[in-house]
Amino acid sequence: MIRSFFVLCKVVRINKCCLDSNETSMATHLFPFHPCLLCLFFFFFLLFLGADATSDSYTDTDGIRWESDTAYISNGESRTVQITESLATPLTTLRVFSSRKKNCYPILLPDARRILARVSFHYGNYDNKAAPPTFKLQFDGNSWATVVTRMDTAVYFEVVYDVRMGRTSICVAQTIPEQLPFVSSIEVRRLENSMYDGEPTYAFFLLRRWSFGATDIVRYPDDNYDRIWVPAADSAGITLLSSDTTIMDTSNSTEHPPKAVLLNAFTTTDPSADLSWTFAGLLPAATIPVFINLYFAEMTALSSSDVRSFRIDMDGNTSDPIVPPYQNVLEFSFADRGVTASSQMALRATADATLPPIISAMEIFTGKSLSNGTAESDGESPLASNLNESV
């Protein structure tokens, strides 16, 4: 199924996805649907394309219309999954490719430059073989990810990059005999050119996008770009905070995070303790380039005697003091930082602070330079095969 939607973004979705609320998973329960769907987002004009053999379109609960993908591709067969529990309509169907080693969706994106592309896969035992396949995902001749599908949980992969000449192509390729590639949904959203700024030949592969303190997944219509913000799981020593205001100005933030993820935050139970993370299980032992966006907002109007000030420490490298603004957002980014599984990031209170650190949201990407029509191994995120494992 493909879903399109003209809202400063362009989306192409081929079928329904599942999102797991667990903070260590990119697998998600999002849409129950039929064969393939394509979605394009541009300036609040909604156009959704869904590949259902029996219906031409579907409108989801957000008012987004999904239409059949038959106008985008002639190869492949539409199938319905057997496991549909908690699925949105778009994930209940898929398009499987039993012929050709590589099958592509050509997508025209007039006037678009920077886009967010997301592709979802839900096996759901559609072939009654109980054998989820593994295959490659590519875009514009560059390898994107190794897709390891699951029996009953959808997985998705997301990348931000610049398109060339107003078009892009998203492909799946068979790499193992008898393991047929398929697609459940494709989404392509147009971003503002200033967002996730990088070189035109550089791609950002999503590892995690967390909302700290939230209880539900946040996406469109709360996020104009339909990014998926997954609630982060708390742990011992963590306190959840909620804002005492609904006013939140994000106009000065380059990445325009949705207000909904800035109205909650994590802090420490012990005012003198650090708020820290390790990357074990997320990153490899070898050093890779990582891009991290951190979002901070004060949850209450502080008294004159209260001071919330902290620094961000990444493997011994320390930032200037961070003072979260009230009714506003402060965005801090690490660009092209070499990080490993043993790296640690900590928010550490400054000497004059009377309150512990807080954080509302975080995005983590790997990045890599791309070439036009590279070899299959070029351009793939070093962690592509591990990004979306279910828990």
Residue 86 structure tokens: 């908690």
Q: What is the pLDDT of residue 60?
A: 81
Higher pLDDT, residue 98 or 42 = 98
> What's the pTM value of the predicted model, to 2 decimals?
0.85
- What DSSP string runs through 259-290? GGGTSEEEEESSTTS-EEEE-BTTB-SS-EEE
Q: How far apart are CA 378 and CA 370, in angstroms?
A: 7
The model's pLDDT over 322-362, given as tens digits with 9 standing for 90+, comes to 999 999 999 999 988 899 999 999 999 999 999 999 999 99
Q: What is the mean pLDDT of the chain?
A: 82
Whether 170 shows a pLDDT value over 70: the answer reads yes
Look-up of token digits 């990407």: 365
Percentage of residues of the chain with pLDDT beyond 90: 60
Across 38-55, average pLDDT: 40
Across 120-138, average pLDDT: 96
Q: What is the pLDDT of residue 134?
A: 98
Whether 369 shows a pLDDT value over 50: the answer reads yes
Q: Name which of 87, 226, 219 is nearest 153 in CA terms.
A: 87
In the CATH hierarchy, which top-level class contains the domain 207-368? mainly beta
Q: How far apart are CA 374 and CA 233, in angstroms?
A: 38
Domains of the chain: which residue ranges? 2-199, 207-368
Q: What is the pLDDT of residue 380?
A: 56
Across 61-70, average pLDDT: 78
Q: How far apart are CA 137 and CA 153, in angstroms?
A: 18
Residue 271 structure tokens: 């005012």
Instruction: Establish whether domains 2-199 and 207-368 are of one fold.
Output: yes
Whether 306 shows a pLDDT value over 90: the answer reads yes
Q: Is 199 helix (H, G, I), strand (E, B) or coil?
A: coil
- 319 exposed, middle or buried (CB, 10 Å; 0-12, 13-18, 19+)? middle
Q: Worst-scoring range by mean pLDDT, 15-29, 167-181, 220-234, 248-262?
A: 15-29
Q: What is the pLDDT of residue 38?
A: 53
Under the banding of pLDDT at 50, 70 and 90, the label for residue 56 is low
Q: What is the pLDDT of residue 9?
A: 30
The model's pLDDT over 3-32, given as tens digits with 9 standing for 90+, comes to 433 333 333 333 333 333 333 333 333 333
Percentage of residues of the chain with pLDDT beyond 70: 80
Across 308-324, average pLDDT: 96
Q: What is the pLDDT of residue 6?
A: 30
Q: Name which of 248, 216, 213, 220 is nearest 118 in CA terms.
A: 220
Higher pLDDT, residue 204 or 37 = 204
In the CATH hierarchy, which top-level class contains the domain 2-199? mainly beta
Q: What is the pLDDT of residue 88?
A: 79
Q: What is the pLDDT of residue 383?
A: 53
Q: What is the pLDDT of residue 173?
A: 98
Q: What is the pLDDT of residue 66?
A: 75
Q: How far apart are CA 371 and CA 99, in angstroms?
A: 27
Asked whether the beta carbons of 118 and 84 are under 8 A apart, the reply is: no
